[in-house]
């Protein structure tokens, strides 16, 4: 066996791949071979490292040196200076503005320092395609304990003690769900994993599957023992090819090691897992619609009861949890439910993974203890709002969630507190918005998504969301009327109270939350025919205010249509016959001088 003095942990998640990590890997291989260092230094392609804004990322072990924003042209100098001459390349370090840190490790970086990792404990630290690396970090110890030392009742009791609630959105107690399924009569039961993840801006489940697929498999096998199931299915959308590939590799490796299949670890328990590719329908994130799709039928929700724990997939007792929920299970079994329950708040235990995106400096994947405030996530971990813009709101829970404005930034992140301010935890999407976001247009965007993704089975969702979208489009085009606000609220409550499934019932939330906190923006659109955030094109004049213009020429330099005239020390002028209303000038103007 070859012994390497240095490991290069190169992020190979989808985000870093999009930034060029595959090309970085190829360049590293070439340069290490050229310098005859390829027998001493090993490149390990990991899953998502979390800090997407700084990708491609590479961590040098055992020194724990963090390199970021790598480019192919950096590699020859990096290999020669660091790996040949022993001089780390400072220009590739991450550091906060005006920081005096010389060789920061991950622990020195604010993005990482406030996180607490359970689900993401192997983030960026293992090769997700090598089961031995997962086992070396205590992988499958929880499974061994569950299969060889615990009864199904003891497993369920431990999960109940942990206080773990489903991380897919509704927050139903996981142990209670498992208990219902275990008590249901039947020789055939199923354990399902929801990896559909259709929310705009969400990439939590995808990243976990890409970085640590065995954690999900281990959790599912334990669930199978707990409820008496012998078959599991992972429902993963086909748009996640890397996650599907790594899941397939992990399943094959687990079978080869006797961790899937017959008589696992000599325990007498049989369990196997298959991956089912979903076609990307948002409604298939709803549990009964997902099961319909798994059965080969059109993914549409059905009425409940009976609930899946009694009659689920093929009318057999079924447990369905999402990726993040399963990824917690082995740690709970290994360390005990009381250990997990010691983290978080009284009603929301453990940690939560969020996809932090939008108008925030540090876009990425974060895992934080329940009870941390929104302000800490967005400003301490996320680095605040870039380009000196002001924070306006954060959208939690995706299209089914709501907007939380600035006055509630100190709200603790737990299920009940988030619900009180008009949002939901959801699966973990967190979209930050600055003062350039039009809240009416944002509500229109989410309603357009909900209406397009409605399965059409129930009239309130099918017709109600269409009518709401028409009203929102009318308002953003300057054609709104005062009565539209009352009608929007009436339709929202009607849909919430009468739609068939949870997705339809929560669909109006973005409209209700923006009406609650940003009603003045709706009124400006209707009464003044003005968009305060300057986003609704039909309400904009595209004129430069010479009093506000600071004569910098940024709008002139950025205009793709060459529709702006500008000379040094003079205000800019927009040529309306050439203007294509692309919004570039308004977005880029540092003085907010364009109306």
pLDDT tens digit string along 462-502? Answer: 999 999 999 999 999 999 999 999 999 999 999 999 999 98
User: Dihedral (C-alpha) 383, 388, 390, 394: value to the nearest 10 degrees?
Assistant: -30
Which of 189-203, 227-241, 250-264 is the least confident region? Answer: 189-203
- The answer to the question of residue 534 being in a domain is no
- The answer to the question of residue 477 being in a domain is yes
Query: How far is residue 225's CA from residue 475's CA, in Å, rounded to a whole number?
Result: 54
Query: How far is residue 413's CA from residue 433's CA, in Å, rounded to a whole number?
Result: 18
- The answer to the question of residue 125 being in a domain is no
- The answer to the question of residue 276 being in a domain is yes
Same domain, 478 and 588: no
Residue count (the chain): 595
pLDDT tens digit string along 103-143? Answer: 777 888 889 988 999 999 999 999 999 999 999 999 999 99
- The answer to the question of residue 123 being in a domain is no
Query: How far is residue 366's CA from residue 382's CA, in Å, rounded to a whole number?
Result: 9
Query: How far is residue 354's CA from residue 350's CA, in Å, rounded to a whole number?
Result: 13
Burial environment of residue 30 by CB neighbours within 10 A (0 to 12, 13 to 18, 19 or more): middle
With 50 as the cut, is the pLDDT of residue 298 above it?
yes
Q: Indicate the number of domains in the chain.
A: 5
Same domain, 517 and 558: no
Domain termination site, one of 381, 405, 434:
434
Same domain, 452 and 588: no
Determine the average pLDDT of the residues in 237-242: 94
pLDDT tens digit string along 564-593? Answer: 999 988 898 988 889 998 989 988 888 888
Phi/psi at 352 (nearest 5 deg)? Answer: -140, 135
- The answer to the question of residue 121 being in a domain is no
From the list 350, 418, 389, the residue with the least C-alpha distance to 120 is 350
Beta-bridge partners for 364: 356
Same domain, 264 and 137: yes
- The answer to the question of residue 389 being in a domain is yes
Predicted model pTM: 0.93
Same domain, 51 and 107: yes
pLDDT tens digit string along 405-423? Answer: 999 999 999 999 999 999 9
Domain termination site, one of 382, 411, 434:
434
Same domain, 490 and 558: no
With 80 as the cut, is the pLDDT of residue 158 above it?
yes
Same domain, 107 and 22: yes
Same domain, 139 and 194: yes
Same domain, 363 and 305: no
Residue 367 sits in a domain of what CATH number?
3.10.20.600
- The answer to the question of residue 535 being in a domain is no
Same domain, 203 and 322: yes
Residue 556 sits in a domain of what CATH number?
3.30.70.20
Query: How far is residue 490's CA from residue 471's CA, in Å, rounded to a whole number?
Result: 12
Q: Which domain holds residue 478?
A: 439-527
Same domain, 230 and 301: yes
Same domain, 336 and 356: no
């Amino acid at each position: 066996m070859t012994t390497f003095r240095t490991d290069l942990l190169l992020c190979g998640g989808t985000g870093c791949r999009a930034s060029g990590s595959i090309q970085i890997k190829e360049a590293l291989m070439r340069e290490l071979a050229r310098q005859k260092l390829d027998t001493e230094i090993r490149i390990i392609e990991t899953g998502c490292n979390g800090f997407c804004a700084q990708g491609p990322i590479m961590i040098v072990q055992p020194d724990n040196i963090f390199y970021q924003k790598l480019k192919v042209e950096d590699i020859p100098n990096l290999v020669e200076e660091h790996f040949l001459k022993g001089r780390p390349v400072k220009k590739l370090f991450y550091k906060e503005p005006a920081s005096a840190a010389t060789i920061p490790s991950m622990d020195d970086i604010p993005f990482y320092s406030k996180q607490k990792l359970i689900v993401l404990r192997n983030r960026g630290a293992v090769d997700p395609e090598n089961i031995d690396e997962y086992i070396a970090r205590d992988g499958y110890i929880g499974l061994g304990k569950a299969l060889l030392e615990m009864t199904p009742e003891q497993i369920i009791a431990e999960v109940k003690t942990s206080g773990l609630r489903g991380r897919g959105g509704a927050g139903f107690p996981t142990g209670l769900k498992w208990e219902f399924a275990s008590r249901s009569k039947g020789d055939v039961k199923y354990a399902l994993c929801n990896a559909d993840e259709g929310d705009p801006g969400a990439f939590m489940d995808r990243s976990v599957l890409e970085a640590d697929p065995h954690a999900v498999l281990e959790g599912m096998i334990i669930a199978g023992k707990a409820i008496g199931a012998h078959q599991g299915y992972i429902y993963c959308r086909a748009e996640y090819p890397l996650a599907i590939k790594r899941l397939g590799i992990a399943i094959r490796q687990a079978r080869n090691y006797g961790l899937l299949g017959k008589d696992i670890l000599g325990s007498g328990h049989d369990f196997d897992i298959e991956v089912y590719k979903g076609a990307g329908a948002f409604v298939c994130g709803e549990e009964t619609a997902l099961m319909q799709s798994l059965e080969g039928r059109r993914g549409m929700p059905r009425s409940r009861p009976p609930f899946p724990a009694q009659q689920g997939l093929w009318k057999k007792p079924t447990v369905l949890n999402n990726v993040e929920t399963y990824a917690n299970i082995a740690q709970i079994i290994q360390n005990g439910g009381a250990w997990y329950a010691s983290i978080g708040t009284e009603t929301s235990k453990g940690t939560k993974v969020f996809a932090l995106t939008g108008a925030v400096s540090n876009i990425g994947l974060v895992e934080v203890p329940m009870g941390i405030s929104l302000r800490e996530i967005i400003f301490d971990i996320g680095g605040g709002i870039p380009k000196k813009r002001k924070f306006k709101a954060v959208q939690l829970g995706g299209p089914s969630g709501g907007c939380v404005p600035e006055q509630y930034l100190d709200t603790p992140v737990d299920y009940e507190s988030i619900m009180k301010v008009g949002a939901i935890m959801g699966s973990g999407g967190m979209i930050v918005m600055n003062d350039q976001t039009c809240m009416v247009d944002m509500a229109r965007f989410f309603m357009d998504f909900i209406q397009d993704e409605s399965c059409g089975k129930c009239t309130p969702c099918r017709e109600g969301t269409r009518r709401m979208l028409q009203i929102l489009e009318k308002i953003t085009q300057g054609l709104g009327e005062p009565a539209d606000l009352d009608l929007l609220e009436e339709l929202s409550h009607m849909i919430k109270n009468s739609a068939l499934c949870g997705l339809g019932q929560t669909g109006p939330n973005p409209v209700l939350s923006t009406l609650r906190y940003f009603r003045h923006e709706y009124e400006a659109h209707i009464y003044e025919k003005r968009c305060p955030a300057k986003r609704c094109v039909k309400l904009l004049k595209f004129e430069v205010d010479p009093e506000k213009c600071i004569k910098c020429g940024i709008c002139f330099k950025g205009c793709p249509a060459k529709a702006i005239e500008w000379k040094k020390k003079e205000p800019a002028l927009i040529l309306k016959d050439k203007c294509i209303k692309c919004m570039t000038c308004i977005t880029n103007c540092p003085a907010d001088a364009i109306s």
